[in-house]
Structure 1
Amino acid sequence: MPAPAAAKPAFAVLMVCTGNICRSPTADGLLRHALQRHGLTDRVEVDSAGTQDYHIGDPPDRRSIATARRHGVDLSPLRARQVTAKDFTRFDLVLAMDDGHFRQLQRLCPPVHRDRLKMYLSYAPQFGRDVPDPYYGGTDGFDEVWRMCETVTEALVAEIRSRLG
C-alpha cells in the first residue's frame, strides 16, 4: 500500500528575485527560521525562485550564506530554481523583491491569481519599494538585505498568523 500523501500546508509563500541566489533565498531562510521559532513550520510552506534561469540548481551566493550563518540561519540546503506557471496556483502569496520582478510576475501570472502578487517591501515600506541587489557589491550590501529581510519577516509572520487564525 502506498504511503499517504503529505498534507498540503495551510498557507504557502514564495519569494522571488532575479537568479534566486541572494535576496530571495535570504528571505526564504529567514522566514523558515522564524516559522520554526513560532511553531508554524508544519502549517506554512516557504520557497524561493528566480525570474531568470541563470543559477538553477546552485546554492545561494556564498556571501548570503555567510551573512545568514552569522545570524544563526542556515541557507546552505537551498537551491536556485526558476518561477514556473504552477507557482501561481501553489502559493497563496508571491513576493517580488523589486519592481522588475513584479512586472515579470504580472506577465506570467494568470489574471485570476494576480491578487497573490505583492511587493516584498510592502511589509516594511520604510525601506522604499525595492530590495537592492547585493550581487555586484561587497558584504555591506548583503548586511543591508539581511536587515530589510529581518524587518519584513516579523511583519510577514504576523500576517501569516492572522491568516491562519
Structure 2
Amino acid sequence: MQMDVRAAPFSVLFVCMGNICRSPTAHGVFRHKVALSGLQSQVRVDSAGTHNYHPGRAPDHRTQRHAALRGYDLSDLRARQMLAGDFERHDLVLAMDWDNLALAQALCPPEHARKVRRLTEFCQQFDSPVVPDPYYGGAAGFHEVLDLVEDACEGLLQHVRQQLQHRAQLRT
C-alpha cells in the first residue's frame, strides 16, 4: 500500500562528519524547537555522519554538556552513518559544512539533489557559511556551534511550517 507523501511527516536529517558534535547538536536543538511548537507529530528529526567513525556512540561529552547548559538533552542520541536510503526518507538533508555537503551530494541520487543543503542557509542573525567543527578546540567552539545551530533552527522551523502549510493546502 502506497502512503500519501503529502500526509507523511516532514523529515529533516542533519549531517556532519562523525555524528557526535554538530549534527546531534542540531538534532537536539531542532527536536526541542519542534516540540515547543507542538509539531512533533508532523516533523521527524534525525542525524547522521558522512563517516562511520563512531557507530552507536552517544554525542561527545562536551557536546552534551554545552547543550545541557542551554536546556537540550542529547543523551538518547546515537551516532550512525548516513545511508543512500536517507535521501528517500528525508525531505531535507542539512550538512554542517562544505566538505560534508560535498560528501552528501556525492551519495545523493539525482532525483533527491534538491533536498541537500547547508544548515546555515537558514540562519537569520548570523552570517556564517558553515557550522565549524568544535572537536579539536575548546569550549568557545561548542558555544559557537550552539549559537549558529539555534539561529539556523529558528529559520528552519519557519521553513518547515511553510512546507507543512503547503502540504495541507495540497490535501484540500
1:79 aligns with 2:94: no
Runs of 4+ in 1 over 3 A off after TM superposition: none
Contact conserved, 1:18 with 1:52, CA < 8 A, in 2? yes
SS in 2 for 1:52: coil
Q: How far is 1:9 from its partner? A: 4.2
**2:50, 2:8 → 1: CA distance?**
24
Paired residue for 2:163?
163
Aligned equivalents of 1:132, 1:61: Cα separation in 2:
15
CA contact 1:21–1:80 (8 Å) conserved in 2 = yes
Q: Secondary structure at the match of 1:83?
A: coil
Aligned length: 158
Shift of 1:128: 2.0
Q: Kindly indicate whether the alpha-carbon contact (under 8 Å) linking 2:63 and 2:142 is maintained by their aligned counterparts in 1.
A: yes
Task: Name the structure 1 match of 2:65.
Answer: 66
Between the two proteins, what is the percent identity of the paired residues? Answer: 48
1:154 lines up with 2:169 in the alignment: no
Alignment match, 2:12: 13
Matched, 1:140 2:137: no
- Give SS of 2:93's match: strand
**Alpha-carbon displacement from aligned partner over 1:47-105 (angstroms, at most 9, x marks no partner):** 00000010010000001100111111100000000000110000000001000011111
CA drift of 1:136 comes to 0.4
TM-score (norm 1): 0.93
| Superimposed CA distance per residue, residues 100-141 of structure 1 (whole angstroms, 9 cap, x where no aligned partner) | 011111110000000000011111274321111000011110
Report the counterpart of residue 106 of structure 2 in structure 1.
107
Partners of 1:65 and 1:117 lie apart in 2 by 26
Question: For residues 138 and 112 of structure 1, what CA distance do their matches in structure 2 show?
Answer: 40
Q: CA separation of 1:66/1:90 partners in 2, compared to 1, >3 Å: closer, same or farther? A: same
Separation in structure 1 between the aligned mates of residue 44 and residue 36 of structure 2, nearest angstrom: 15
Task: Specify the code of the residue in structure 1 equivalent to 2:67.
Answer: A
Q: CA RMSD in A?
A: 1.1
CA contact (8 A) 2:123 2:153 kept: no
For structure 2, list consecutive stretches of 5 or more residues without a partner in the other structure: 1-6, 166-172
Partner of 1:54: 53
TM-score by length of 2: 0.89
